[in-house]
Amino acid sequence: MGGATLYVEAIKCGADKTEMKLTGQAGDVMKESSQIAWSYLQSTYQKYAPEKLFFDKAQIHLHIPEGATPKDGPSAGITMMTSLLSLLKGEPVLEDLAMTGELTLTGKVLPIGGVKEKLIAAKRSGAKILIFPKDNKRDYDELPKHIKKGLEVHFIDSYEEVYRVAFSAK
């Protein structure tokens, strides 16, 4: 029947020190993914938002709604990074965009499992533009054409490519 779509939200609150908080029934692996996204953003923000300063004395709250549903796995890494970067830049990403991929500390995007389920969930939620890891292209190619119909899919292997797609209308 397909998987579930996770939404990722980020807000900035005043604080005595700069820190990030994650809520939404995230498991250990998802918590690690949020920390990787935070560290990657800290180390590269000038590349993506040269006109901005990193969050100074602010608590950044990253939330995955539907908190009663436990969630885990590394597949939301690029989504978390994109949410944090969108907050820092003060710019939304493309509408109708869905993405999945594990992010490393150096910005590499690793493959995920459940391509068919994730594609169906994204399509069901109204997404028209999808970002998948390049290493999952073979999995995507094996799917029936009717499942892929009407979608613009980008296969990427670095966060820089995610950025170009997610903020392309900006």
Report how far apart, in Å, the C-alpha atoms of 139 and of each of 30, 33, 43, 91, 144 are: 23, 23, 32, 32, 11
Separation CA 64–CA 159 (nearest Å): 21
Tell whether 88 is covered by a domain: yes
Tell whether 1 is covered by a domain: no
Domain carrying residue 79: 9-166
Tell whether 46 is covered by a domain: yes
Q: Residue 83: what are its φ and ψ, rounded to 5°?
A: -65, -45
Q: Which of 34, 83, 86, 118 is flagged as catalytic? A: 118
Tell whether 162 is covered by a domain: yes
Encode pLDDT of 9-34 as tens digits.
999 998 888 999 998 888 889 899 99
- Residue 104 is classified by DSSP as P
33 noted as active-site residue: no
Reported pTM: 0.92
Tell whether 2 is covered by a domain: no
Tell whether 110 is covered by a domain: yes
Number of domains composing the chain: 1
- Residue 135 is classified by DSSP as G
Separation CA 60–CA 82 (nearest Å): 14
Q: Which of 34, 75, 83, 86 is flagged as catalytic? A: 75
Tell whether 98 is covered by a domain: yes
Tell whether 33 is covered by a domain: yes
Q: What's the token pair of residue 25?
A: 């029934």
108 noted as active-site residue: no
Averaged pLDDT for residues 67-71: 61
The CATH number of the domain holding residue 36 is 3.30.230.10
Position 67 confidence tier, pLDDT thresholds 50, 70, 90: low
